[in-house]
Amino acid sequence: MGDAMKVVKSLYFQIICAVLLGVVVGHFWSQQAIALKPLGDAFIKLIKMMIAPVVFCTIVTGIAGMSDKRSLGRLLSKTLLLFLALTVISLIIGLVSVYLFKPGAGMNIDPTQLSTQGLSQYTESAAKLSVVDFFMHIIPDTFIGAFNKGEVLPVLFIAVLCGFALSSLGERGKPVLEVLESASHMVFKIFSYLMRFAPIGAFGALAFTVGQYGITSLGSLAKLIMTLYIACAFFVFVVLGSLCRAHGFSLWKLLRYLREEFLVVLGTSSTEPVMPRMLEKLQALGCKKGVVGLVLPTGYSFNLDGTAIYLSLAAIFIAQACNIDLTLTQVITMLAIMLLSSKGAAGVTGSGFVALASTLTVIHDIPLAGLALLIGIDRFMSEARALTSLASNAVATVVISLSENACDREVLLQTLDGKPALTQTPATDSSWDGTKVAKHI
């Protein structure tokens, strides 16, 4: 009886029930389900409210406690190279999948007959995207301005500067560091309160999705959706699985350890609501705060592998549906543009769709009107994109930590086996080289 009550009270069980209930309500009571959209939106807004302070406190205390500042450049270089390699592999997997399964073949769509109603919001956002604008956007207008919109990269930029400044101040910087460590305890405690509303948010978001678009609407484009999910599964279990095995830990155990976070992402179609909890739980695996605080937030903008798979797959799908044959040169050019556009759309609502629109706007070989084929099902594909990107960033953080000797392997393996024996909380471990890590969440 006690075990049963423990399961019922667990966040994992509650989110599963909420997701299933959301599908049922959305399918049978679609009009009422559409009205539930504010539940999901409110939960996401509550969590996004905490992202900036969580990222700032984690990174500043992490960098200020690093014993070897010279290793930061090596860490960032290694991180960006890994993200680049994973993104290239993702684009190729999407490309191979769409040519293998040919989901658009035989549709014989005339792009001039497609309705472009509803595309304007995406094409307008796409028109604003450029490499220069993306990097300029990292620098906030003011110091406080970095926190206004809750975007990760400007906060990351400010936090790195503050971390180095506090470190260089030595003893004079310790009072400020102690305040930030206490503030870190506070924001993580607030976040733990907010996570209790995760089942309600997941229920509202999924009920709206099913109620608005309907499960039956998937029929005509089911092959495309299935192709995306197969490609994402291949990337996660083959590519990421191989990366995990090469570094001596189990992908399956890591996914099981993060199961609650994956369920929240499944319900909300967004990885942002779980970032603060991911920072905690990755530290609980034995990864040092300084590494986790840099790698994970950076991955949220530079390692969108689910989006990368979607980009190459969706673009060729439109070409197949419209009977457009692309040359090898055109395909390679398209992939090169996608390598940039997948990063430039970070933080934009509907980022995958916006990145695809920006790519098609540049290459002109595939009609932009073809995006109309994807509007109705994009929400159902966004879950695959978000889940894949979350898995990739979790694996990348652990791998980078291990490669930097910034992860206690014994703690990692014990925690993944469900046998944590730790006592320290995340906010107090600010040492890169320390061996004590966060308490299991």
User: How far from 146 is each of 213, 321, 374, CA to CA, in Å?
Assistant: 36, 43, 34
433 within some domain:
no
440 within some domain:
no
194 or 237, greater pLDDT = 237
Query: According to the model, what pLDDT value does residue 438 have?
Result: 35
Q: Does the pLDDT of residue 433 top 50, yes or no?
A: no
Write the Ramachandran bin of 176: left for phi over 0, alpha for psi from -120 to 50, otherwise beta.
Answer: alpha
441 within some domain:
no
**Domain membership of residue 420 as a residue range:** 2-428
Q: What mean pLDDT comes out for the span 375-396? A: 84
263 within some domain:
yes
pLDDT interval class at 214 (50, 70, 90): low
Exposure string (b/e) for 339-360, b if CB count within 10 Å is 16 or more? bbbbbbbbbbebbbbbbbbbbb
119 within some domain:
yes
User: How far from 240 is each of 228, 288, 416, CA to CA, in Å?
Assistant: 17, 21, 16
| Neighbour-count burial of 171, counting CB atoms closer than 10 A to its CB (0-12 exposed, 13-18 middle, 19+ buried) | exposed
SS (H, E, C) 174-206: HHHHHHHHHHHHHHHHHHHHHHHHHHHHHHHHH
Q: What is the SS3 assignment for 131?
A: helix
Q: What is the SS3 assignment for 402?
A: helix
Which of 61-75, 121-135, 140-154 is the least confident region? Answer: 121-135
Query: According to the model, what pLDDT value does residue 7 have?
Result: 60
The Cα–Cα gap between 269 and 250 comes to: 25
Q: Looking at the chain, how many residues does it have?
A: 441
272 within some domain:
yes
Backbone angles phi, psi at 287, to 5 degrees: -80, 135
DSSP string, 204-270: HHHHHHHHHH-GGGGSTTHHHHHHHHHHHHHIIIIIIHHHHHHTTS-HHHHHHHTHHHHHHHHHHS-
Q: Which residues pair with 407 in a beta bridge?
A: 287
Q: Does the pLDDT of residue 263 top 90, yes or no?
A: no
Per-residue pLDDT of 148-182, as tens digits, reads: 766 677 887 888 888 888 878 878 888 888 888 88
Q: What is the SS3 assignment for 287?
A: strand
Q: Which of 205-214, 348-357, 391-400 has the highest mean pLDDT?
A: 391-400
Per-residue pLDDT of 350-369, as tens digits, reads: 567 767 776 777 677 787 77
249 within some domain:
yes
438 within some domain:
no
The Cα–Cα gap between 147 and 154 comes to: 8
Quote the number of domains for the chain.
1
Q: What mean pLDDT comes out for the span 278-293? A: 88
Q: What is the CATH number of the domain that holds 198?
A: 1.10.3860.10
Query: According to the model, what pLDDT value does residue 77 have?
Result: 85
Q: Does the pLDDT of residue 428 top 50, yes or no?
A: no
Q: Are 222 and 296 in contact (CB under 8 A)?
A: no
Per-residue pLDDT of 83-100, as tens digits, reads: 999 999 999 999 999 999
Query: According to the model, what pLDDT value does residue 348 have?
Result: 45
Query: According to the model, what pLDDT value does residue 82 have?
Result: 93
